Structure 1
Amino acid sequence: MASLFDQYEDAQSRPGYQQQRASEPFMQSGIVSARLEDETPIFSKKKINFTPTQPITYLVISNNQLCLAMGKNMLLRIDLDNPDKIDELEVLRAQDDKIHKLFLDPTGSHLLIALESQECLYLSRNSRKAKNLSKWRSHLIECVGWNKLAGNEVSTGPILVGTRTGTIWESEISSADQGLFGSNPDQYFKHLYTLGEVDSPSPVCCIEVERIVEGKCFIIATTNKRLYQFFAVMPEGGENPVYQSVFNNYMEEPPGFLEFPAEVGYSDLALYTQKLRSSPRAFAWMTGSGVYFGSLDYNRQGSMLADAQQWPYPTSNDGNTKQPNSIVLTQFHFLLMFPDRMSAICTLNGQLTYEDIAPVKFGRLLRMIKDPTKGTVWSYTENAVFRYYIARESRDVWQMYLGMGKFDLAKEYCKDRPECLDKVQTKQAEHYFKTGKYIESAMYYALTHSYFEEIALKFIEAKQEEALKVFLTKKLTNLKTEDKTQMTMLVTWIIELYLNKLGQLKDDRDSSFPATQEEFHKFLMQSKLKECLQNNRTAIYELIASHGNVEDLVFFAVLIQDYERVLSHHIQHEDYTLALEVLARHGDRDLVYRFSPVLMQHVPRELVKTWIEMGRRLEPRRLIPALVSHHQAQGNEQVNQAICYLEFCVNQLHVEDQAIHNYLLSLYARHAPHQLITYLESQGQNAQNVGYDLKYALRLCAEHNLHRACVHIYTTMELYEEAVDLALKEDVELAKLNADRPEDDEDLRKKLWLKIARHVVEEEKDVRKAMACLPNCDLLKIEDILPFFPDFVTIDHFKEAICSSLQEYNKHIEELKEEMEEATESARRIRQDIQDMRNKYGVVNAQEKCASCLFPLLNRGFYLFPCGHMFHGDCLVREVYPHLSSSKKATLDDIQRKLGETSRDAPGRSHKQKEASTSNAQQSRETLKQELDDIVAVECVYCGEIMLKSIDKPLIDESDAKEWL
């Protein structure tokens, strides 16, 4: 049996749709098929591959926990999440009793078994033995209102119970402490209310409890012909029974109710909850004459049933209307279970969307139930169990909402189906157009795939330019960037509409003109249109100009950064300040160069300020045409501002362009000669470093008789004689200052001072002033200037100068004597030091080694230095040789060669000849050794200058490093 339930998903299936009958009245409103040709049916049924051993009498399911009653006392419990384990147990001992109904809580943990003997048993999920609820005796239970918020696997929380006699009770059941001596699971069973009716009491068929916001409680209870509503605010932490406060409000005055004629003794109530533990959204009540369906509005006062209407039951094949035995409510359908069929009715329009005829071989359909937690739908007969599958229930809902004119809801349910969404939006646009809401119509037409020309023509014929503009704008928004042709057409058309509207508003002096113009500007400023506007600027210029709209023409030019046109416009209208603001704001260098000559004549100060702010972004040379424009204007302000900018270029930007310096110098010479010397001095007197052209400057200054400036320029050109000659015409002190300039040429300096002395004597006839030149120049003597004086000048004028000269000569002679004595003493000391050095000696031990080769030192001739380093003679030569110059290397090679020759005796000589030769060779050898010592032994190779000079040389030679690598 377990394996059969394990395979229930793969069971046999039946087609879920049968052709509806045209004779049925509710079919005439336009039924929506339960399935499309290319889609699976909305509803389908599968039979569970299960054959009961006894007739099925009742079935409940919750949270995938299925409980099945068979025969009189057999009960099956199946966990559909683990269908291998089936729990089968007997719950009754009395042979004459049988199960009336089963009730399973939303968690699937608590099962109530109502018996025909008016007793009630309780079975928890973890128990295999049903317990008798003693407090519930003498009551035939018809319904249970579970506590969806407080209920859990251990306790049901406070629940409501409806009986056959119309009474409502409160109880709470706990599965804790159910051992051998455990307490009873029913903690209390308290009567709360009785549904009184005019005739005999009716059974409580259904009861639903909902806790909503702010502690409010909402209870629906139904009988076979009435629906009651109870409302109250539940107190926090109240004592049991907790629902007593709800029903206390209706003890004096009965609650309101709905009543329908009853043809049978039962009814059924179904609620639809979208999410677990959320409040229901809709209800469906199975009455005697049809299904009463509506939504639940928790904000309403008095009754929460809203938008309710009654749908008649569908007729059967024989044309009769039968009473269903149960009802299930889904999102858009209520499912009615008849003994021979199941019918699905759409809650939106009452259409029959699905009908399933039950096979006769399985017997009569008993009941249909829905898992309140998982949402699955089940039905059963005495011999079979079925499951119904619901696939995309909302797929065709959009058409129903569309037919009802509820466009927003229609779009909500087809938003993932573009072709359907397009139909909805087209219908909505047509609806708005027919009702005169042209703006809304345009917005929705733009979202559809309707023919563009047809829609545009509709608005043109209706003379709705504003709606047409909205339509075009919305269409433009939906275009992609690559749709350049369509974008160009739409943009041009929209601009034309805006211009027409602006022209009309301006002519009528309408107050909405500024807002419309701002809207037009915002349209043009869209980043998406930037490329289109740039590519079609000429056409748009002509379009705006054809309307005479100068303001918007300027705005468009600024928008596309066509500042040349903007500047030309402002200058043509003599609005130079605004033109300069545009120029300064955007800083286009080419435009600055082009328009500066005009602006310099009208706003020179502001223009120069802009130039300075732009700094190095400008090339000063290219601004010279604007700077020279003052010649035509003859304005001092232009000249001052030109000088100001050129000074900025020279002093701040350190511009070296000779044209800039020459023009600044020319402005100084013509208009500000008092600043010229300052400029020349700031440039220095190095002819190679000055920024201006010396010859041009000299010619310009001479032309304007600026002698001091000419003197400075002569000096910079090192034409000192010309500088002194010109300075003597202006100021003797200036001549003296320039006479000392040639510091390295004493003859020239003396000549320049003689010029000054001669000028003072011959031109100024001032002997004292001429004599004052002697202290200023140490090269002049009294005898140098005496020839310039007249023959009859008395010696009194020279007495002081002659005495001073003689005293200086005497002082100089004394200084020479002192220097000679110091030199004699120094020579004596040097000779003494040389003699001392010759007598100096050092001690060498037998174990000493050469500092170069590290072999014993005494093996051959060696050198001992005062620093303590010792070298073999040949080792020292080898160490010193690489550091010698080429000439000294040649000399050293020659000395070594000669020493080698003197060490060999010539063969064939007599004894006397050999003695004479040996004597001469000895003298020559000593001389050579002395020369050798002077080259290699002047200083220690490790402590002298050779070591210091080699400090920047690498320790590893480059060639060695390459060889090692």
Structure 2
Amino acid sequence: MDRSQRTSRDRDAGIFAKLNVKFNPKGTVTHLNVQNQIMLICTNGQTLQMIKLQRNEESSIPLSLALHDRISAVHLDPTGRHALISSSMGDNYYLSTKTKAVKSLKRLKNHEITAVGWNLELSKDTDTSFIVLGTSKGILMETSINASGNMSYLKTLTSDLVKGKNACEVTSLHLSPCSEYSSEAEARWMLLVCVPSQLFCLAGVINPIARESTAQQVVGTMFSATMLDQTVATLQALFKEKPRSLSVSSKQENLPSTVVVYPVGKNEIPNKFVWLNSSGIAFGTLDPSGGDPSSSDALDIVHEEVSVPHKMIDGRLDLPMDVALTEHHALLLYPDRFVALSLLNQKVMHEELLTNESLHIVGMTRDSASQFIWIYTESSILKYRPVDETRFIWKIYLDRGEYSKAIKMTHAMEDARPHQLVLKKLADKQIAEKNYEAAARTLISSAESFESILLKFTSAGSAGRNGLKLLLELKLKEMDIVTSEDKKRRDLLICWLVQLFLSEMAEARRVGLDAAPLDSPERHPEKNVRQLRDQLFVFLNNRAFREAVEVNKKQIYELMLKHADHESQLELAKSLKDHTKVIDTHIHLQNYEAALEVVSVQEDPELFYQYSPLLFPHIPKKMFSAWTKNEKISPAKLLPTLYKCHASEEMRNAAMYYIKWALSKAKKEKSVVDKQMQNFFISLLANYKPEQLLPYFESYGKLRREVPYDVEFALRICLEKDAEKTVDLSRCCVFLYCVAEMFEQAVDRALPIDLNLAKQCVKMMDERSDAEINSFILPFSDFEDRPQKYSTEMKRRIWLKIARYVITEQKDVEACMNLLKESNNILKIQDLLPHFPQFTKIEHFKEPLCASLKDHSAKIQELQREMREAAEVANEIRGDMEKLKTKFTIIKPADKCEKCKEKALTRPFFAFACKHFYHRDCLEKAIQPTFTQEEKDSYNVIKGGLERCRHPQRAADLNNKEFEEWATLNKKLEQLLSSSCILCGPKMIKSAVRPLLTEEEYDRELETW
């Protein structure tokens, strides 16, 4: 059966459907009670049967009743665990439905129990906890019974609840806490007591935990009865005062009077009641938190709202036999029909005639756990279940204007039409009241087309704008983005919503400016605009829309720009952490310092490179400070910005300060500075601060390989500026010529300036040579053979330039003679004589000539000494060579090859004076990696020649010429192999500084990492 068919069938069947029950009683049914799928049936007034409905398990419960005694009541707690059976002659029994054990309650002898107030909060499988018993004589007692049927105690709470009336039967009891029960020591409990024509409500603060603890301690002891009799009842606090009651006038005590509450269950506080009394049916609510907490009279908890009188039929009252209560209906059992009255309007919502059943209807019970209603006659059982009990309730709520309750009801219904009707009615009411935001919240759940809903708001003009905004926002939240079309719709709604906010802000600005006088504070509408902007960003910052806002940020920026709302644009960019947009907006608004602050906070050098050209012309000093604080910036990448510094003096100063700072930092850290940066700095100094140029050059020294700047560029700049005659940079030119090792040009440039400067230039050649030597780590023997960097002839030529200048320009012979010593004897007197005037006196040359002759004499004597020493060394070498001809080495049989560790005498070997021995083949393999490139080439040539001589096809034809060739090659190979020991010779020493890997091997190894 499909859903529509099932719904139609349920609607036709009414809100309570009758279910078939197969039941064949063994006698006349007198009592029936069902709770939590446990059914107790009494037949013929004496036989008790228990049925566990879930298992369909039947059991007979034996009761030791007298012959003429009859069961008068069967009380079953809502959990279905405990039961009390009472007889008309005052015998009472306890039944544990779990163990099926029955025990007679002797202490209740002669008391007919007519009502039980079960303790749903504290009862367990093992005991009932404290409960209240009501008797046919109006006595209220408190007791606790365990699963074995033992009563822990029995205390009479009251025997005269109804003053002036004797034998007033207690018809109903209900016991529950006034709030959700917790494990606190003290709690307020209430007790509803119903007697004919009266309803009482008692309440008080009790200590159930202490009561339970005391009861557990004394149960099972031989003095338990005595001790418990002395114990005060737990609920005694509920009977401190004379209680008030709801009363009706009645002349007959035997008319029905019973009260039922809803809900009934653990951790559930009852909030509704129906009281069936002699006058009619009273409907009301319970407010357990009401009343005076210090008073035991708690009638204020009970609020009677309406009473429906009994009808008169044929001159007699049409009285219900029994009553039950559900969430929405009061169920009444009449002798001929079953009726359900709505709790809201007390109208009949369901009525079913029972004329086809046995005429002897006995009663009705409701299982609070399963919600089933059981009606029993003397010979049959009827079972009803609620079917869509709220089917008509929503209409009542709708007619009464209680829309929230109607929406809640219809939302759970299978048929969606009632829910949509309620939403439409509510939205129409809200729109009529101009409550557009509430209407938006209502209509977002409506099935009405989105276009028609939008029309309701757009037709309202600006008044409906807030509702329209809320509607769009709610629509966005409920959208499921699955396809690309869904994304397009989402993006469109977001942009529309932003447009609404921006339009409203623009209107607020315009209205504020137009409506208020010029000097009025209301003319400045910033407050309203700020509120609207806050609302906009509450939407934009919502997590549900965050991704969509980021995707559409470009379109949103454009919308804001069209409205000239730069503040919103800036705030959105900050919210999205779109730093580029934040900076662009600040620059557009000429907030350069704010833009720089954003750039600085990010510490991203790329942002500095991007925005420095825009910010530097406006705030050069602050830019300089920001650059120096960011260590990630590469100064070379700021050159495009620094090139703009010619525009103003402030920019030039900031640029020069920064470049000087960068150069100084690089010098301290010994890092490389881009040459373009150096060249630009040199250009700036040459143009604007020429006096600082020479100290700058001098700070890096005179060795060309150590200076970081481009010497040729610097020299060109200095020559150009010097040629313009605007500044004197001659000394800078001289210095740069020296750095470039163009000493002749340096001297030519220096002579017109300063003779001493020219001398320093030529002396620098000797200093440069010493520096070059000291900068290399070479064997001592290499120094002797190393050619001088600058030839003596070159030095003499430059010194002669200086000498000619002194002779021709200064005409100072004595100063010229001093040049002989200053030149470190590079200049000779004979070099100078041709340049002196013809009639120069000889006195000036006397001393230099004598010194020159003495110098020649000393050199001749030194040469003779060296020749004698050379002859002695030659004689020693000849003697050593003669001794070597007879030198020998003793080879022992145990001596081994240093490579293969086998005995050396087993095959051809080499013996070194250091006592290291190697087989020829072992030595050949070991020595090859130590060869220089020249030695490798020689080795390959020798090996190739030997292979040709040893070719098998030619071995037999080897003639004398070929043999001599082979012998020569073999000797060369032996000389190459025996040049030095590979363990302790020069090759081993040189290998200490050889890299472990060649460049090719290093590159190959690096690729594998």
TM-score (norm 2): 0.74
Within 1, Cα distance between the matches of 2:255 and 2:358? Answer: 26
Pick the aligned partner of 1:55 from 28, 33, 49: 28
Note closer, same or farther for the CA distance 1:620–1:303 as it changes in structure 2 (3 Å cut).
same
Within 1, Cα distance between the matches of 2:858 and 2:607? Answer: 76
Does the alignment pair 1:496 with 2:503?
Answer: yes
Amino acid at match of 1:430: D
Within 2, Cα distance between the matches of 1:858 and 1:585? Answer: 80
Note closer, same or farther for the CA distance 1:664–1:304 as it changes in structure 2 (3 Å cut).
same
| Match in the other structure for 1:471 | 468
Query: After superposition, where does 1:570-589 map in structure 2 within 5 Å?
Result: 570=589
Does the alignment pair 1:293 with 2:291?
Answer: no
Within 1, Cα distance between the matches of 2:207 and 2:715? Answer: 106
SS of equivalent to 1:729: coil
Within 1, Cα distance between the matches of 2:113 and 2:471? Answer: 64
Amino acid at match of 2:175: V
Within 2, Cα distance between the matches of 1:776 and 1:452? Answer: 105
Within 2, Cα distance between the matches of 1:551 and 1:906? Answer: 103
Does the alignment pair 1:605 with 2:621?
Answer: yes
Does the alignment pair 1:510 with 2:510?
Answer: no
Amino acid at match of 2:199: L
Amino acid at match of 2:472: K
User: Would you say the 8 A contact 2:190–2:202 is kept in 1?
Assistant: yes
SS of equivalent to 1:288: coil
Within 2, Cα distance between the matches of 1:93 and 1:563? Answer: 94
Note closer, same or farther for the CA distance 1:328–1:773 as it changes in structure 2 (3 Å cut).
farther
Note closer, same or farther for the CA distance 1:93–1:489 as it changes in structure 2 (3 Å cut).
closer
CA shift for structure 1 position 388: 3.0
| Match in the other structure for 1:76 | 49
Note closer, same or farther for the CA distance 1:729–1:188 as it changes in structure 2 (3 Å cut).
same
Does the alignment pair 1:192 with 2:158?
Answer: yes
Pick the aligned partner of 2:650 from 637, 640, 662: 637
User: Would you say the 8 A contact 2:722–2:729 is kept in 1?
Assistant: yes
| Match in the other structure for 2:244 | 255
Does the alignment pair 1:242 with 2:233?
Answer: yes
Amino acid at match of 2:488: E
| Match in the other structure for 1:534 | 554
| Match in the other structure for 1:522 | 534
Does the alignment pair 1:131 with 2:122?
Answer: no
Does the alignment pair 1:344 with 2:363?
Answer: no
Within 2, Cα distance between the matches of 1:146 and 1:490? Answer: 60
| Match in the other structure for 2:723 | 702
CA shift for structure 1 position 257: 3.3
CA shift for structure 1 position 725: 1.2
- Shifted more, 259-268 versus 870-879: the winner is 870-879
| Match in the other structure for 1:88 | 60
Within 2, Cα distance between the matches of 1:564 and 1:931? Answer: 79
Does the alignment pair 1:406 with 2:402?
Answer: yes
Pick the aligned partner of 2:274 from 273, 278, 284: 284
Note closer, same or farther for the CA distance 1:697–1:267 as it changes in structure 2 (3 Å cut).
farther
User: Would you say the 8 A contact 2:358–2:377 is kept in 1?
Assistant: yes
Note closer, same or farther for the CA distance 1:460–1:278 as it changes in structure 2 (3 Å cut).
closer
User: Would you say the 8 A contact 2:373–2:384 is kept in 1?
Assistant: yes
CA shift for structure 1 position 662: 4.8
User: Would you say the 8 A contact 2:398–2:406 is kept in 1?
Assistant: yes
| Match in the other structure for 1:157 | 129
Does the alignment pair 1:731 with 2:787?
Answer: no
User: Would you say the 8 A contact 1:340–1:364 is kept in 2?
Assistant: no
- Shifted more, 897-906 versus 842-851: the winner is 897-906
CA shift for structure 1 position 143: 0.4
| Match in the other structure for 1:841 | 888
Query: After superposition, where does 1:224-235 map in structure 2 within 5 Å?
Result: 224-235=196-207
Note closer, same or farther for the CA distance 1:265–1:719 as it changes in structure 2 (3 Å cut).
same
CA shift for structure 1 position 492: 3.2
RMSD: 5.1
Note closer, same or farther for the CA distance 1:735–1:467 as it changes in structure 2 (3 Å cut).
same
CA shift for structure 1 position 664: 3.4
User: Would you say the 8 A contact 1:620–1:660 is kept in 2?
Assistant: no
Within 2, Cα distance between the matches of 1:642 and 1:728? Answer: 36
Amino acid at match of 2:526: P
CA shift for structure 1 position 114: 0.4
| Match in the other structure for 1:690 | 709
Pick the aligned partner of 2:790 from 734, 737, 745: 745
Within 2, Cα distance between the matches of 1:497 and 1:921? Answer: 111
User: Would you say the 8 A contact 2:45–2:71 is kept in 1?
Assistant: yes
Note closer, same or farther for the CA distance 1:297–1:637 as it changes in structure 2 (3 Å cut).
same
- Shifted more, 728-737 versus 596-605: the winner is 596-605
| Match in the other structure for 1:430 | 428
Within 2, Cα distance between the matches of 1:874 and 1:600? Answer: 75
CA shift for structure 1 position 123: 2.7
Within 2, Cα distance between the matches of 1:229 and 1:60? Answer: 25
SS of equivalent to 2:141: strand
Q: Report Cα offsets for 1:817-838 as digits up to 9, x if no partner.
A: 6655554554455444444444
Note closer, same or farther for the CA distance 1:58–1:607 as it changes in structure 2 (3 Å cut).
same
CA shift for structure 1 position 233: 1.7
CA shift for structure 1 position 203: 1.0
Stretches of structure 1 lacking an aligned partner (at least 5 in a row): 1-14, 18-32, 179-183, 631-635, 908-916, 958-965
Does the alignment pair 1:389 with 2:385?
Answer: yes
Does the alignment pair 1:204 with 2:186?
Answer: no
Within 1, Cα distance between the matches of 2:756 and 2:906? Answer: 80
User: Would you say the 8 A contact 1:229–1:257 is kept in 2?
Assistant: no
Within 1, Cα distance between the matches of 2:231 and 2:797? Answer: 132
Within 2, Cα distance between the matches of 1:512 and 1:166? Answer: 79
Equivalent pairs counted in the alignment come to: 891
Within 2, Cα distance between the matches of 1:189 and 1:68? Answer: 30
CA shift for structure 1 position 503: 1.8
Note closer, same or farther for the CA distance 1:823–1:291 as it changes in structure 2 (3 Å cut).
farther
User: Would you say the 8 A contact 1:557–1:566 is kept in 2?
Assistant: no
- Shifted more, 261-270 versus 610-619: the winner is 610-619
Within 2, Cα distance between the matches of 1:589 and 1:537? Answer: 26
CA shift for structure 1 position 261: 4.8
User: Would you say the 8 A contact 2:281–2:310 is kept in 1?
Assistant: no
Amino acid at match of 2:364: M
SS of equivalent to 2:749: helix
TM-score (norm 1): 0.77
User: Would you say the 8 A contact 1:144–1:206 is kept in 2?
Assistant: yes
User: Would you say the 8 A contact 1:226–1:260 is kept in 2?
Assistant: no
User: Would you say the 8 A contact 2:896–2:903 is kept in 1?
Assistant: yes
Within 1, Cα distance between the matches of 2:103 and 2:573? Answer: 91
User: Would you say the 8 A contact 2:394–2:409 is kept in 1?
Assistant: yes
- Shifted more, 636-645 versus 615-624: the winner is 615-624
Within 2, Cα distance between the matches of 1:921 and 1:104? Answer: 131
Once the two structures are aligned, what percentage of the paired residues are identical? Answer: 25
SS of equivalent to 1:50: coil
CA shift for structure 1 position 577: 6.0
Within 2, Cα distance between the matches of 1:769 and 1:927? Answer: 67
| Match in the other structure for 1:328 | 324
| Match in the other structure for 1:25 | none
| Match in the other structure for 1:12 | none
Stretches of structure 2 lacking an aligned partner (at least 5 in a row): 180-185, 212-229, 292-297, 480-486, 770-788, 1002-1009
Q: Report Cα offsets for 1:349-374 as digits up to 9, x if no partner.
A: 33433334436345544222233455
SS of equivalent to 1:271: strand
CA shift for structure 1 position 220: 0.8
SS of equivalent to 2:127: coil
